[in-house]
Amino acid sequence: MMGPPGAGKGTQGEILERSLGVPRFATGDILRHARREGTKMGREAQRFMDAGELVPDEVILGIIGEALQGDKARDGFVLDGFPRTVAQAEGLGRILDELGIRLDAVLNISVEDDEIVHRLSSRLVCSSCGIALAHDGQSDASCPVCGGTLVQRRDDDAETVRHRLIVYRERTEPVLTWYRAAGARVVDVDGLGSVEEIRDRVRAGIGI
Ligand code: AP5
């Protein structure tokens, strides 16, 4: 699943994960989990994430290589927010070749920049369990799952979001060009509309 920050990859990825009955590996979620756990990888990734920069390719390829070799991934999987550079796409190709797995589709969700800034500046996440929620105007609300404190994601302030969009255009959009040139099945989905409308477009696009 590809698309700019805030395009709805996570939202649609969760729906796809449930409807296909396969695991979803979201590199952003894995990195944030590592950061909350205080692991070495999480601490090293933090400065890149907070600045809206990409975490180095070798770290990301290590995460994905490990995830895809596990039993969980045997019957298929959804990759969310990966690959984000041409080097990651090439690395993924090598991992899939080694495992004898075929890439079915590259799903590309697009949303215009102003909508993205609006969506991300009104998102809150739980500082304990990481769940994301739409802002309902109650700044003192607590997490409905674990009771933790709700905060803005560190990289969701307008300035960092604008920088993430620049990074997306410079480093991730070329991945789509690379996949198209390689003859991969790229499914383009308009990400503007209700979550249900986009869910239906995704399903129609990939044919499920
Ligand atoms: P990551 O967590 O992947 O962030 P992102 O790609 O910037 O995406 P987001 O999580 O912000 O948005 P999303 O597209 O998943 O949208 P969502 O469904 O949440 O990565 C964070 C950082 O980690 C990166 O900047 C980088 O540093 C690092 N990283 C991760 N992967 C990496 C990689 N492969 N290589 C290198 N570094 C990597 O929706 C957003 C909001 O909109 C939510 O509030 C949601 O409720 C709302 N929303 C969803 N759908 C709709 C809709 N249809 N209408 C209105 N609102 C909607």
Q: What is the pLDDT of residues 38-74, one digit of tens each?
A: 999 999 999 999 999 999 999 999 999 999 998 999 9
Q: Which residue has the tokens 């409308």?
A: 197
pLDDT at 135 over 90: no
pLDDT at 170 over 70: yes
Mean predicted confidence (pLDDT) in 108-137: 88
Mean predicted confidence (pLDDT) in 81-102: 97
CB 4 within 8 A of CB 168: yes
pTM for the model? 0.94
Mean predicted confidence (pLDDT) in 137-143: 71
pLDDT band of residue 133 (cuts 50, 70, 90) is: confident
Q: What distance in angstroms lies between residue 10's CA and the mean position of ligand 1's atoms?
A: 6
Q: Which amino acid is at 178?
A: W
CB 166 within 8 A of CB 53: no
> Is the CB of 164 inside a 6 Å radius of any atom of ligand 1?
yes
Catalytic residues: 9, 84, 123, 153, 164
Testing ligand 1's pocket by substitution, the residue of 31, 85, 201 carrying the most ligand atoms inside 8 A of its CB is: 31
> Is the CB of 5 inside a 6 Å radius of any atom of ligand 1?
yes
pLDDT at 138 over 70: no
pLDDT band of residue 141 (cuts 50, 70, 90) is: confident
Mean predicted confidence (pLDDT) in 140-161: 90
CB 78 within 8 A of CB 24: yes
State what percent of residues in the chain have pLDDT above 90: 88
Ligand 1 atom closest to the CA of 82, numbered from 1: 34
> Is the CB of 111 inside a 6 Å radius of any atom of ligand 1?
no
Mean predicted confidence (pLDDT) in 162-167: 97
Q: Which amino acid residue places its CA nearest to atom 7 of ligand 1?
A: 5
Mean predicted confidence (pLDDT) in 91-117: 96
Q: Which amino acid residue places its CA nearest to atom 6 of ligand 1?
A: 5
Ligand 1 atom closest to the CA of 192, numbered from 1: 53
CB 45 within 8 A of CB 35: yes
Q: Which amino acid residue places its CA nearest to atom 1 of ligand 1?
A: 28
Half-sphere exposure of 143 (CA within 13 A, CB side): 17
